[in-house]
Structure 1
């Protein structure tokens, strides 16, 4: 736990401290949209802020330099290696973290725009964003593993979040 906190403690603290600022941003954005005659000012303002505030800390973590350079292009091989080689706690953190990277995006994108009010649209946007992040890890030479399995898990997390919030956005 000590090494994890040392590596990611700043991100966790910054994310928690950002909550009041994100709340204020949502309020001000909704107010501005109300004045401009936006059709769903509070709903879209909340969605915009949750997407950014819920995704930015994960992106910060992903784009932090590491110590393990590598590229894994064969689907599910990296994931199976982790299941076999890592402790159950480490697997939980790895898989759970990857599922959460774009969960806020998946949950709120359909709320934000009817254009993305389908599971397929959410999967497409999440897969594209995840691929971009993996390419950045590789291209910026951050000494992190760039893996197709990360893209699959990030996308799956966004899709699961969209499914969980579907009642909220599908009724429009």
Structure 2
């Protein structure tokens, strides 16, 4: 393995660990006063609908929704760059949905006082897809690159003008 590839791999490994640790902490961190109790809501959209209905009183719910969107964004942005098998949308979607469901299942099983909801899993999945889309330019396949038209720079324009 060339030195630049080894350095790139080591940096990505370090970044993946640095993004996984806060996820594990946030999922397993007990909520003071609520440890041992878990709220379960498996109706998709129910939490989001109540957030819209409450208006300005639902600021905490909005922050939690944003947190769920951002929770796995960094790890899914880095994963396809590090793991070649994750460089297809099918594999990524399967992994993202699995991780989102596992996060909610862990919160339910650990009974740390966190809510287990379908909306959280959906928001985690959407955030994960946004993370993967953010780095798609760097991990897309060669076939995808060849399908896109080449970028025209001023240098290529000058060459094409001098040839005609």
Q: How high is the TM-score relative to the length of structure 1?
A: 0.69
Structure 1 unaligned regions, length at least 5: 1-33
Q: Specify the alignment match of 2:60 in structure 1.
A: 90
Distance 2:3 2:41 in 1: 45
Matched, 1:59 2:16: no
Contact kept in structure 2, 1:110 and 1:116, CA below 8 Å: yes
Q: Which runs of 5+ in 2 are unaligned?
A: 143-164
Aligned length: 137
How far did residue 53 of structure 1 move?
A: 1.0
* CA root-mean-square deviation: 2.3
Contact 1:73-1:148 within 8 A present in 2 as well: yes
Partner of 1:74: 43
What is the aligned counterpart of 2:106 among 136, 147, 150?
Answer: 136
Structure exhibiting the larger radius of gyration computed from Cα positions: 2
Query: What do residues 64-113 of structure 1 show as CA deviations (whole Å, max 9, x unaligned)?
Result: 12236310111111222233336464343112110111112210111112
- TM-score normalised to structure 2 length: 0.72
Structure number with the bigger relative contact order (C-alpha 8 A, sep ≥ 6) is 2
User: Aligned equivalents of 1:45 and 1:92: distance in 2?
Assistant: 36
Q: Which residue of 1 aligns with 2:119?
A: 149
Q: 1:40 to 1:122 in 2, by over 3 A?
A: same
Q: Deviations over 1:106-163 (max 9, x none)?
A: 1011111221012332221122122112111111221211011111111111110111
